Amino acid sequence: MSASRSLATRVRQAWGRVRNQSLRVTLRYYLRRMEIRVIPFYYVKELLPRDIPRDLTALPEGFDFEVFGEREIAIITGFPEQDAPFIGAHLRESLKHGHTCLGVKRQGEIVAFTWFALDATHSKLHPVAMQPNEAYLYNMYVLPEVRGHNLAPILRFKSYEILRTMGRDTFYSITLTSNQASWRFKQKLNAQRVFLGLYVDFLGRFDGRWILRRF
């Protein structure tokens, strides 16, 4: 009898979560409790534009570009929203692998940054090598208090400009399907979805990847 009441209580609790949140959020909650991670994502392609507008590679007055090193990386790891896998150890490893962190400072303080890699994605979601004309773009971040200064597109186009000098004209990135803001930003860059993928991790021991749909 107690087991029946316990099951009924859990069912009511689950249904309450669905009503107050959503089925997707509820499923994610219970999967996390079972140590199962299910991550749907888009693999996205961007092409080097024929002409890069000068106003989209020039920062507003008072802001400056800088290629970040270990000192800046230590500061970045304390930023809000910088969750795993963008923890300190991961970012330091990115530097050792030769990845570039292009950042923006205002009066000497870090306010924005983005990363790019020339060799591979280095992502569990879709690990794949880059070709000689390709680059992987990831971890774009702008502090909330400066998000009205158009820094995200400026950083993107500055990355294009730098990568063009390295012979790169095709760029890939990964966007979680839940991150609609990121996808809207990439749509403005004429980005194309290559495929919808799914990554599943079970107990941190077993994982798998599937392509659900190609575009």
Whether 19 maps to a domain, the answer reads no
Enumerate residue ranges in the chain where pLDDT < 50: 1-5, 7, 11, 14-15, 17-18, 84-85
DSSP single-letter state for residue 129:
B
Whether 48 maps to a domain, the answer reads yes
- Rounded distance, CA 43 to CA 192, Å? 9
Whether 6 maps to a domain, the answer reads no
Q: Which domain holds residue 187?
A: 40-214
Query: So what's the pLDDT on residue 74?
Result: 87
- Say how many domains are in the chain: 1
Residue 111's CATH number? 3.40.630.30
Query: So what's the pLDDT on residue 18?
Result: 45
Integer-rounded Cα radius of gyration of the chain: 20
pTM (global) more than 0.75:
yes
Query: So what's the pLDDT on residue 84?
Result: 43
Whether 59 maps to a domain, the answer reads yes
Whether 148 maps to a domain, the answer reads yes
Residues 169-204: tens digit of each pLDDT:
999 999 999 899 999 999 999 999 999 999 988 876
Whether 8 maps to a domain, the answer reads no
**Vertex 121 angle, CA 120 and 126, to 5°:** 125
Q: List Cβ neighbours of 122 (8 Å cut-off, separation of 6 or more).
A: 94, 97, 99, 136
Whether 12 maps to a domain, the answer reads no
Alpha helices for the chain (secondary structure H): 2-20, 23-33, 70-76, 88-96, 151-164, 180-187
Q: Which of 199, 195, 208, 201 is nearest to 39 (CA)?
A: 199
Whether 7 maps to a domain, the answer reads no
Task: Taking each helix axis as running N to C, give the angle between helix 2-20 and helix 23-33, from 0 to 180 degrees, rounded to the nearest 10.
Answer: 130
- Rounded distance, CA 44 to CA 136, Å? 10
